[in-house]
């Protein structure tokens, strides 16, 4: 499928970008899961023109608005991005391929925490939130990858190329069939009991599960949610900051021609007003770029 503008993220920034881009008559697609937006569980009372609303209400209206201007909505995670000769290619977790002339990254902030004992204490000592960043440190050693979505499935498959053993800890896998099969065929061992505690003195030595059993591992990768777009942005030539943010200029260009970023991913304050404002500019700029205006 070919578009002028592809927007990664279906939260406040991505939906506003989709509204602005499609209103500028650019053929627009917006991808991601609205229920994964930070806004989904929020109660908002500090956004201009809205006395009080649930985030869910705002998201539903945003989706309806984007659709009404002609944007296509695809509730799927993006797991790969690449570019060649001025065209961008995006691949979703269900295998949908999208081509676009411009990309807007509006994927919010990632790195959700598990909030179990040992996670904070052993962070950097075996606990990691980024398999693609840290895979090399675990050559020949046993690891656990925790998470049910596409990020965990991709990470579990990746770690089978490095680790001596990969446990994939997920109560109920939520990743697409395609990614699930890839991880399992590569040798990741599924474990369905939820994680309870990460233990180790100076370094991770085991992951304790709710059913009382222990997995002897040296690495615990916490990969909750969609695959991090900051990792994928690097494949487009965008260099995120060490904090995982994307720096932008006043047009919300991410420093690579045709690539824009907006919302929480560009930094604080993490607020709907900032996300929507940035999304509006980024969507409009991306549409202008794609249409050669």
Ligand X SMILES: Cc1cc2nc3c(=O)[nH]c(=O)nc-3n(C[C@H](O)[C@H](O)[C@H](O)COP(=O)(O)OP(=O)(O)OC[C@H]3O[C@@H](n4cnc5c(N)ncnc54)[C@H](O)[C@@H]3O)c2cc1C
Point out which residues bind ligand X (CB under 6 A): 8-14, 31-34, 36-39, 41-42, 44, 46-47, 77-78, 106-108, 226-227, 229, 263-264, 270-273, 275
Q: In this complex, which beta carbon is closest to ligand X, that of residue 107 or of residue 218?
A: 107
Separation between Cα atoms, residue 99 and residue 102, nearest integer Å: 9
Q: In this complex, which beta carbon is closest to ligand X, that of residue 187 or of residue 267?
A: 267
Q: Closest distance between ligand X and the C-beta of residue 206, in Å?
A: 30
Half-sphere exposure of 276 (CA within 13 A, CB side): 14
Alpha carbon distance, N-terminus to C-terminus of the chain: 23
CA distances for 123 relative to 105, 156, 197, 198, 277, angstroms: 27, 19, 13, 10, 34
Beta bridge partners of 231: none
Q: In this complex, which beta carbon is closest to ligand X, that of residue 30 or of residue 122?
A: 30
Beta bridge partners of 53: 44
> What does the DSSP 8-state code read for residue 228?
P
Q: Closest distance between ligand X and the C-beta of residue 155, in Å?
A: 13
CB atoms within 10 A of CB 78: 25
Q: Closest distance between ligand X and the C-beta of residue 41, in Å?
A: 5
**Coil, helix or strand for 60?**
helix
Which two tokens mark 217?
């591992």
Q: Closest distance between ligand X and the C-beta of residue 43, in Å?
A: 6
CB atoms within 10 A of CB 237: 12
Among 33, 27, 102, 104, smallest CA distance to 72 is for 27
Q: In this complex, which beta carbon is closest to ligand X, that of residue 25 or of residue 52?
A: 52
Beta bridge partners of 155: none
Q: In this complex, which beta carbon is closest to ligand X, that of residue 205 or of residue 271?
A: 271
**Coil, helix or strand for 3?**
strand
User: Rounded to 5 degrees, what angle do the CA atoms 82, 261, 4 make?
Assistant: 60
Q: Closest distance between ligand X and the C-beta of residue 257, in Å?
A: 22
Q: Closest distance between ligand X and the C-beta of residue 204, in Å?
A: 26
Q: In this complex, which beta carbon is closest to ligand X, that of residue 42 or of residue 116?
A: 42
Q: Closest distance between ligand X and the C-beta of residue 8, in Å?
A: 5
Q: In this complex, which beta carbon is closest to ligand X, that of residue 59 or of residue 207?
A: 59
């Amino acid at each position: 499928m070919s578009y002028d503008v592809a927007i990664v993220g279906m939260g406040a920034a991505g939906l506003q970008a989709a509204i602005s881009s499609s209103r500028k008559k650019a053929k627009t697609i917006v991808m991601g899961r609205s229920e994964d937006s930070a806004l989904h569980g929020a109660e908002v009372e500090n956004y201009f023109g809205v006395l009080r609303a649930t985030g869910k209400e705002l998201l539903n209206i945003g989706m309806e608005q984007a659709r009404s201007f002609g944007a296509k909505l695809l509730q799927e995670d993006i797991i790969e991005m690449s570019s060649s000769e001025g065209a961008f290619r995006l691949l979703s977790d269900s295998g949908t391929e999208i081509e676009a002339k411009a990309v807007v990254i509006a994927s919010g902030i990632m790195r959700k925490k598990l909030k179990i004992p040992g996670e904070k204490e052993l962070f950097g000592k075996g606990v990691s939130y980024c398999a693609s960043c840290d895979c090399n440190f675990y050559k020949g050693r046993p690891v656990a990858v925790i998470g049910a979505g596409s990020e965990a499935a991709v990470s579990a498959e990746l770690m089978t190329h490095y680790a001596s053993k990969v446990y994939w800890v997920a109560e109920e896998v939520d990743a697409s069939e395609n990614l699930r099969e890839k991880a399992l065929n590569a040798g990741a061992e599924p474990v369905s009991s939820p994680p309870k505690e990460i233990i180790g003195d100076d370094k991770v030595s085991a992951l304790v599960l709710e059913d009382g059993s222990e997995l002897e591992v040296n690495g615990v990768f916490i990969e909750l949610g969609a695959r991090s777009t900051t990792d994928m942005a690097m494949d487009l030539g965008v260099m995120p900051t060490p904090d995982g943010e994307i720096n932008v200029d006043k047009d919300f260009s991410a420093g690579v021609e045709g690539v824009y970023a907006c919302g929480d991913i560009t930094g604080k304050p993490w607020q709907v007003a900032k996300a929507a404002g940035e999304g509006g500019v980024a969507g409009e700029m991306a549409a202008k770029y794609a249409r050669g205006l």
